[in-house]
Structure 1
C-alpha cells in the first residue's frame, strides 16, 4: 500500500466516532499493523517500506523520514484540503512501533529505530527532536479542531526523557488492557471515580490483573511507583477510573457477556417531618436500553437523566453492608450494589435530579450528607467536628433502617479519614465534568437552549473554574459546587 493508504488505515483505527470523548493512545504494534493490512495481503514489512519511501504524491525526496513527516504536516495546507486525518500519523505510528518491543528501556530506542530503518545502529537523527511539533499538532487536531468527536488524544510526557519518553508514553497500556480495566475495578470493589493512592492502585492491579494484563505491564508495576514510567501508567489508570461510570460488559460465570450497571441511592429529605425517602436507582451507561429493563418480572426502570434511571421499587436496606446483585429478566444485564458502611450523598441538581444522589468521592467546600452505620458513627462524628464545617447529626423519624444514622455538613475541610473510608477522600487529580446539556453530535458542541453545567473535582480548595471566549472572561455562576454558563453566553464560538 502507498504511505497515505497506511496513514489513513492506522488513523481510522484510533480515531473514529466510537472513540468520542474517550482517551486515545497511539499504541502501535507489529500485530496491529499486520491486522490492518490483512485484507490487502500486506504486513508490517510493507508498512516500513512505505515509511522509508514516503508518499507517492511527493516528487521531492527528503534526506530522512523526519523531514518527510514534517513536510507532511505542511502538505499544501492539508486542513484546507479537508483530508480526514493528519497525513503524518503514519510516521508517529512508526516511532511508536519502534518502542513497542522494549520494557521501557529508552536507552535502547535509537538502536531499535535504526534496525527497523535498516541503518547503522549508532546513527544520530538531528531532526528527531522536532517530532514534538507533530505530537502537539495531533493533540490540537483531535482535542480542539475535532472537539474530541473521534477521541481525545493523550500526550504523555515523561520529563527525564522528553522526546523518547513521549513515544514510550503511548505504549503504557494496550487497547485491550484499557478495555479490561473495568473488570479489575469491579473485582476490587472500586467505586467509579473513587480515590485511591498510587501505591494501593499498583498493588491492586498486580493482584487482580495478574492474569489479564500483559507481563510487560505487570513488570512495570512491580518496578515501583518511583519509576517515572510506572507513575505515568498509574495516571492513565486513574483517569480511566475517573471516567468509568460503573457500567460495562463483563464475562459471567458461564462465560457469556453481560452488561453491568451500578445500583445507587437517591433521597428526598422532608426537613419538617424529618422523613428520609430513599429510592434505589440504576447508574446507567451508554448501553442501557432506552425502553428500560425489568427484574424478576416484578421491578422496572428506564432512563430518567443522563446518568440515572427511574427509581426501582425494591428495598435493599438489609444489603447496605454486604452488597447485592440483581439480574434483569432476560439475564443479559446485572446490577450491583457495592457494600459500604458509609454512603455519601450530594445535591442531584448537577445531574438533573431533585433531592440527593449517591456519590463516590468527597468534594471539598461542597455541602454533603452521610448515611453511616452505627459501628462507624464514633469515627465519623469525631472527624465531622474537627475537619468539617457545620457538621451535625440529623434525627430522622422515618426512612432509615435500624442501626444507621444521618449526618449533614456544609463542607469538608480535610480528608483525614481517607485511609479508613476511601469514599471520604478528596480527589487526587483535578477534573472538570460536563453534566447535562444536549449535544449536537458526539463532540463538545451543545444547543444554546441546553448548555452543560460544570462540576469541578479537585482536592485543592483554591482551584476554581474560569470560562473565556475570544479572551473575554465569562461570569460563571457558582452554587453548591456547580458552575453554570450565564444566559448571555455567546453562541457559535469556542468557550475555553
Structure 2
C-alpha cells in the first residue's frame, strides 16, 4: 500500500468522531499498526502488514526515497502538508486533490489528515514497545535501533529539532481546522531545557493503553469514591502506593511521579485525574488474554458531600450530607439506616449526619457504598450552584471570585488560613464563632479573594477564565438544540464581564445576561440566532476555549428522515432477529404472511353499526412542554442511548418538578425505566436494553377499536410543527383530531399527549379509513393496508399479538438454546416471590428445581430460570409468566363491562404483547390498589381491550380467564 493510504487509516484510528472533545494521545504500538493493515487492507498476517508499513515509510512518497535521511524525508512530507493545508483550509478549495494518485481525503470520511502522522508515530513506537526500558535522557538510542532493525534507515538521528513544529501544527489541525470534532491533540511543553524536543514524544507514551484501562483499580484500592474532591497531592500518593500493583505502572513511572522537579510528573497525574473524572465507580477484571472481563464488585460507589446551614437566631452550625451519584438512586436506598431520597441533578435530599471525614456507609440490600472526602480544608458554596436550596452550603472544589463562600479548616491549618485572610478587604473575610462547628475545625466566611493561597491547592483562584456549556440538549459536538438551551458558565468570572456571542459569518453580536444569583453563569436568550456558528467572547479579555465555534440548532422534523432500516428486527420472542429470518417485527409492524387471519378480530375495529361523526374545526393547541417536548427532542435526535434519554428527562424535571410534587414517591431510576417502556410500547420508539439502543419510529396511523365509528391514533416520532400541519390537513379532509393528555396519575413519566383521529361525515368505515390514507400520503405518515381477504388497514395490534410466541413455545426455546452456567453473584441476587409477584432479596439456597433469579451486575440485569436442576438465561417478563405457568398461578383479570384488562403492577407483559395491548387505546395503563380474593395488590389497568384480545392473551400464557364485573 502507498504511504498516504497508511496515513489515512492511522489518522482515522487516532482521530475520529468517537473522540470528539476528548484528548488524543499518540500511544500506538507496532502490533496495533499491523492489525490495522489486516483490517483495512486485507493483508494476510501481522508480519506482512508491518513490512508493508515500513516499506511505505522508507520512501513511498513523492520526492522521498530510501537514500535520504529519515528526518529529511519527514520534512519533505511535513512541508508538502503545509502547502496542501493552506489550499484546503485557508483557500477552501474542495477539489479532489491527489498525491501519487491517492486522494488527500480519507476515502470514507473525507477528512484531510496531516500527511506527517505516520512519520510522527515512528518517534513513538520505539518507546511504546519498550516502555519499561527507555529513559528520559536516552531517547535516540532506542529510536535508532528501531529504524535500523526495520530497515527504514541506516543513518543515525541525533536531533529532531527540525520537525519540532509539527506538534504544534497537529494541535492547530485538531482544534482550529476540525474544532475538536475528531478529538484534540495538545502539544505538551514541559520546560526541561536538557530535552525540550524529545519530551513531547515522551509525553505521549508514558502510560500504556493497558495501564490507562486499569487505573480504576488504583481508585478501588485507595477506597475513594467517584466525584470526590481529590487534591493533586493525594493523586500523587495513591499513584505511588498502588500504581505498580493495581495498574501495572513501571517503577520508572513511580519514580517520575515521586520527583516533584520532573516535568513529566504532571503529565502522568493529569492522565490519572482525567480517568478519575470519567470513573463511575466500577472496576473490571480481565483474564490472562485481556479478553474476558468480569466485574470486581457489584457495589455502586457514591460520594457524601459535606453541607451545612447556619441558624443565626441561636448562632448554630447545622451540618448534614448530600449523597451524589451520576447513577439514579434505587428504590428504598438506606445507607446504614439513613433513608436516601432523590432531590434531583444526582443529589439526594439532606442526610442528617454529623460531620465525620471517616464515614463509609453502605446498603447491603442494594449494594451501594458512600464515603466522605478526607481534606483538612473544605470550601463551601451556595446550593444554588447545583440546583439545591440557596441557604444550604455544599462542599465544592472551586473558589468563586464574587459569591459568598465558607471555609472549614483543621486547627493545624488555621494560622495559614488567617494569614491568607489578612489580605482581604475589611468585611470580606471573617471567623464564624457558632455552636456545633466540628471539634478541631474552624469556620470562616469569605468573598472577593484578592489572590490564591500561596500553598493550598484548593484555595487557588482561576487566573485564566475558562468557558463551559452546562445543561441543554446536545445534538452534536458543540451543537445544542434550541428547545432546551444550555447555560454558559465562565470559570473564574468576577461578575464584571461583558459576555457576548459573535457570529462568524455576519459579525453580529448578541449580549448575554448574567444570572442574578450565580455570577459565573450567563443566559442565552430565546432570540438567539440558530444554525450559525458563533464564538463566546468577553469584551477586552481572553477566555480559554473561546476559539471554538458553537451552534444553537433549530431543526424541523421530516418523516423522511426516519429510516426503518435503523430499527431492530425482532423475532416472535421479542428478541433480536437472525438476519436470515423471513418473518419479524420492526417498530410496531409485523412482517409475516398471516394477515388474512386478522378478519377474525376485525369487528371491534371496523364496526357494522357505523355512525357518522360531526366535524369540528381542529384548533386545539399542541403545547410543547412535558412529554411533548421530550418526544420532539427524541425525534430530532432519532437514534440515541438510554443515558441520553435519562438526561433529557432530568432536564425537563428540573423545570417541571413533578417528581418532587407527586404523592407517588418513586426513585428516578424506576420512573425512567418505566417511562422508556411506555414510550416503546406506545409505539413512539423502539428500545433495546441489551444493545442500549433507542430508535425513533416513523409516524404512523394505527386503527383502534371503536363501537360506532372508525378511530385511529398517531404513533411514532413527531414535533409541534408536524402536529400543526396534521391539524391543517385534517381540517381540509374533515377529520376530527383530539389532543388528549395521558392520565394525570402518570404525569411523573412525562408521556406525550395522545393524538386521536376520527374521520367525520363518512357513510362507512371504508370511506373513513380512505380519508386517513389520503392524509397519510400527504404527510409521509405510514399507514399499512392489507389486501386479503379485502383491502383494509392492517390491525397492527393483531399482528403483534398473533406473531408473538406462546409460553409453551418460549419454554421450548430456552430449553434448546438458553442453557447457561453463570457465577452465582450472591450479593447481586433477588428471587421472584410467587405470592408477592415481585423479586425480593433472598439469601437462602437456590431452588434448582424451579425458581427465577434476578442479578444486577455492573448496572445491568440478568435473569436466570432454574428448571429441573439446570439454569437458563431468560427475558425478565417471559420468565415471570413461565414460572407462573409452571406453578399454575392465575393473575390476569378482565372486566367485560369496562373492557379493561388488569395485571399486577410488577408483572409486565412481554414486549410484543405489551405493545399490542397498549396500542388498543394509545394510553398507558393506570394503577389502582384493589382487593382480589382477599389479597391487596396494585394492578395496572389496560383500557379499550376487546374480549377477543383478552381471550387470546390468556391462551398465550396458559392463564385461566378470570372475569370481573367490577373492581
TM range (shorter): 0.7 to 0.9
Tell me which residue corresponds to 1:94.
122
Give the alignment of 1:122-161 within 5 angstroms: 122-123=155-156, 129-130=162-163, 132-133=165-166, 135-159=167-191, 160=193, 161=195
Tell me which residue corresponds to 1:52.
55
Residue 358 of structure 2 aligns to a residue whose secondary structure is: coil
Residue 135 of structure 2 aligns to a residue whose secondary structure is: coil
Aligned equivalents of 2:202, 2:185: Cα separation in 1: 15
Tell me which residue corresponds to 2:958.
none
Residue 98 of structure 1 aligns to a residue whose secondary structure is: helix
Give the alignment of 1:185-224 within 5 angstroms: 187=222, 192=228, 194-196=230-232, 202=236, 204-211=238-245, 212-215=247-250, 217-218=252-253, 221=256, 224=259
Tell me which residue corresponds to 1:339.
374
Is the 1:371–1:405 Cα contact (8 Å) retained in structure 2? yes
Aligned positions, number? 474
Aligned equivalents of 2:343, 2:45: Cα separation in 1: 46
Is the 2:376–2:413 Cα contact (8 Å) retained in structure 1? no
1:482: how far off?
0.9
**Which runs of 5 or more residues in structure 2 are unaligned?**
66-72, 85-96, 286-294, 536-545, 547-967
Which residue among 294, 303, 314 is the counterpart of 1:262?
Answer: 303
Task: Classify 1:431/1:106 alpha carbon distance in 2 versus 1 (closer, same or farther; 3 Å).
Answer: farther
Aligned equivalents of 1:257, 1:217: Cα separation in 2: 33
Deviations 1:130-169 (A, max 9, x none): 4734x44432343344443443322223454454332222
Aligned equivalents of 2:113, 2:280: Cα separation in 1: 32
Deviations 1:401-421 (A, max 9, x none): 7887653212344555845xx
Tell me which residue corresponds to 1:115.
148
Which residue among 397, 415, 422 is the counterpart of 1:360?
Answer: 397
Is the 1:466–1:473 Cα contact (8 Å) retained in structure 2? no
Aligned equivalents of 2:323, 2:170: Cα separation in 1: 38
**Which runs of 5 or more residues in structure 1 are unaligned?**
none
Is the 1:368–1:408 Cα contact (8 Å) retained in structure 2? yes
Aligned equivalents of 1:193, 1:121: Cα separation in 2: 52
* Bigger Rg, which one: 2
Aligned equivalents of 1:27, 1:252: Cα separation in 2: 22
Is the 1:27–1:170 Cα contact (8 Å) retained in structure 2? yes
Which residue among 447, 450, 455 is the counterpart of 2:485?
Answer: 450
Task: Classify 1:269/1:65 alpha carbon distance in 2 versus 1 (closer, same or farther; 3 Å).
Answer: same
Task: Classify 1:310/1:456 alpha carbon distance in 2 versus 1 (closer, same or farther; 3 Å).
Answer: closer
Residue 317 of structure 1 aligns to a residue whose secondary structure is: coil
Q: Does 1:304 align with 2:306?
A: no
Tell me which residue corresponds to 1:67.
76
Deviations 1:357-401 (A, max 9, x none): 31134455653113456x56954873475244522244667x877
Tell me which residue corresponds to 2:351.
314
Deviations 1:277-327 (A, max 9, x none): 755334334xx24x756534974455823xxx2324533325x23232334
Residue 325 of structure 1 aligns to a residue whose secondary structure is: strand
Deviates more, 1:357-366 or 1:2-11: 2-11
Which residue among 511, 529, 534 is the counterpart of 1:494?
Answer: 534
Which structure exhibits the higher relative contact order, with contacts defined as CA atoms closer than 8 Å and separated by 6 or more residues? Answer: 1
Q: Does 1:437 align with 2:462?
A: no
Aligned equivalents of 2:490, 2:306: Cα separation in 1: 20
Which residue among 152, 167, 183 is the counterpart of 2:201?
Answer: 167
Aligned equivalents of 2:274, 2:303: Cα separation in 1: 15
Aligned equivalents of 2:23, 2:272: Cα separation in 1: 8
Aligned equivalents of 2:272, 2:468: Cα separation in 1: 16
Is the 1:138–1:153 Cα contact (8 Å) retained in structure 2? yes
1:348: how far off?
3.9
Tell me which residue corresponds to 2:322.
281
What TM-score, normalized to structure 2?
0.41
Aligned equivalents of 2:223, 2:353: Cα separation in 1: 22
Is the 2:23–2:183 Cα contact (8 Å) retained in structure 1? yes
Residue 263 of structure 2 aligns to a residue whose secondary structure is: helix
Is the 2:257–2:268 Cα contact (8 Å) retained in structure 1? no
